[in-house]
Amino acid sequence: MVTITVGAGTTCAREETTVTIPTTVTLPGEDIETTVTIPTTVTLPGEDIETTVTVPTTVTLPGEPVPASTVTVTATAAPSTPAGYFCNPQSGVNVIKNGGFEQSLAGIWRAFQAGPDAFIMRTPASPASGSYSFRSRAGPNLGNNTPQRLAQAVLLCPGVTYEVTFKARTTVPNAAVVAAWIEVPGEGGYTLAGGSLGSDQYVTFTSFDTRPFPLSGTAPVPGIFFFEFSYGGDPNVEKDIYVDDVVLAPV
């Protein structure tokens, strides 16, 4: 038996399980449709959640489509003293740790870098608030528009409605897409928010809709919260996406 705490004020204890999730996530937009097919294997619980994600992605943007890619993301769930098996969600309490990126990413967020001229990092360069934000950069010598990803393990309570909000901007308007979704073992994937970035100023994204995740039982359910940063247009042009103030909270 291992106890995991992910996010503020929620703990659970679970036996080790391995679950395979074939998932299709569709992100709507005004002129952009992104379909992400994710066969995912998640092993819970333990020090690390190892997730292998194969993502053939098509993004309709000015320029060529984003190529398919295969990534491995490790999201850490830190063990803690158990406080019981049952959910006690608090409205407005963020279950995302370090959503403002004011602390180091280590042990909380896990990032995947697309290539040698791509960067994915915490940075003081362009925060929406505070002193830091998260930056996903495709460099001019990368030669492709491979998407990059950021992930964190979370706990969700069955029957509870969650809402996500985050702020994002890009240095190349109309040539970048950001998407947020959650994978839940045995339940599937849920697109939360996102779309095309048309401005170099921060824009706030919120959930497409607010409804309870169709989870079963009364105990907290582990899942993985993902960001995907996709690029279009000339692959030899440097592109940056900045994200800040990430919140996933019961409403």
Assigned token pair, 80: 């803690």
DSSP class per residue in 181-217: EEEETTTEEEEEEEEE---SS-EEEE-S---B----S
pLDDT for the residue numbered 190: 82
129 has pLDDT over 80 = yes
The CA-CA-CA angle for residues 221, 44, 178, to 5°, reads 70
C-alpha to C-alpha distance for 149 and 180, rounded to whole angstroms = 10
Q: Which domain holds residue 175?
A: 2-250
C-alpha to C-alpha distance for 194 and 127, rounded to whole angstroms = 19
- Rank 56-60, 84-88, 124-128 by mean pLDDT and report only the highest: 124-128
pLDDT for the residue numbered 251: 85
Q: What is the CATH number of the domain that holds 93?
A: 2.60.120.260
Q: What percent of the chain has pLDDT over 70?
A: 64
CA end-to-end distance (rounded Å), the chain: 31
pLDDT for the residue numbered 165: 95
pLDDT digits (tens, 9 = 90+) for 30-73: 444 444 344 444 433 433 444 444 333 333 344 444 444 444 44
80 has pLDDT over 80 = no
Task: Give the mean pLDDT of 61-87.
Answer: 43
pLDDT for the residue numbered 142: 64
**Residue listed under structure tokens 């993502």:** 55
**What letter would DSSP give residue 209?**
-
Total domains in the fold of the chain: 1
Q: Cβ(169)–Cβ(92) under 8 Å?
A: no
pLDDT for the residue numbered 135: 95
C-alpha to C-alpha distance for 182 and 72, rounded to whole angstroms = 16
- Rank 29-43, 104-118, 212-226 by mean pLDDT and report only the highest: 104-118
C-alpha 169 chain-centroid distance: 16
**Residue listed under structure tokens 């839940």:** 184
Q: Quick one: pLDDT band at residue 143, thresholds 50, 70, 90?
A: low
